[in-house]
Structure 1
Amino acid sequence: MTMRLWGKLGAIVPLLAITGCGAFGNEGRACTDIGAESGVSVLFDPEPGTAYRLCVGAVCTEGEGAPIDTSEALLRVRLPDAVGAKKVTVRLTGTPQFSRGIPKPRRLDVSTRVTLRRTQPNGPGCDPVAYQAALRYEPAKGLVNAG
Structure 2
Amino acid sequence: MRRSLLAPLLVVALTGCSVFGQDTPCRQADADSQVSAVWRPADFGGRDEVKIRLCVDDSCEEKASGNPDDPFTSLRVRLPDDVGATTVPVRLTVTSAKSGDTVVEDSTRAKLTEQHPNGTSCPPTAWTATFRAHPEKGLSSPKGMKLQG
Verify same fold: TM over 0.5. Answer: yes
Unaligned runs of 5+ residues in structure 2 are 1-14, 144-149
1:121 aligns with 2:117: yes
Aligned CA RMSD, in angstroms, stands at 3.0
Aligned residue among 126, 130, 133 for 1:134: 130
Encode CA deviations 1:56-95: one digit per residue, 9 max, x unaligned.
1111101215769625321111111111111111111111
Q: Secondary structure at the match of 1:83?
A: coil
- 1:10 corresponds to: none
CA distance in 2 between counterparts of 1:69 and 1:89 reads: 32
Preserved CA contact (<8 Å) 2:50 2:65: no
- 2:12 corresponds to: none
Preserved CA contact (<8 Å) 2:54 2:92: yes
1:36 aligns with 2:37: no
Preserved CA contact (<8 Å) 2:37 2:132: yes
- 1:4 corresponds to: none
User: Alpha-carbon deviation of 1:49?
Assistant: 2.7
TM-score (norm 2): 0.67
- 1:52 corresponds to: 52
Preserved CA contact (<8 Å) 1:66 1:74: no
Task: Return the letter of the residue paired with 1:42.
Answer: A
User: Alpha-carbon deviation of 1:25?
Assistant: 4.5
TM-score (norm 1): 0.68
Preserved CA contact (<8 Å) 2:35 2:56: yes
CA distance in 2 between counterparts of 1:108 and 1:59 reads: 19
Q: How does 1:28-107 map to 2 (within 5 A)?
A: 29=22, 30-46=25-41, 47=44, 48-64=48-64, 70-98=70-98, 107=103
Unaligned runs of 5+ residues in structure 1 are 1-23
Task: Return the letter of the residue paired with 2:131.
Answer: L
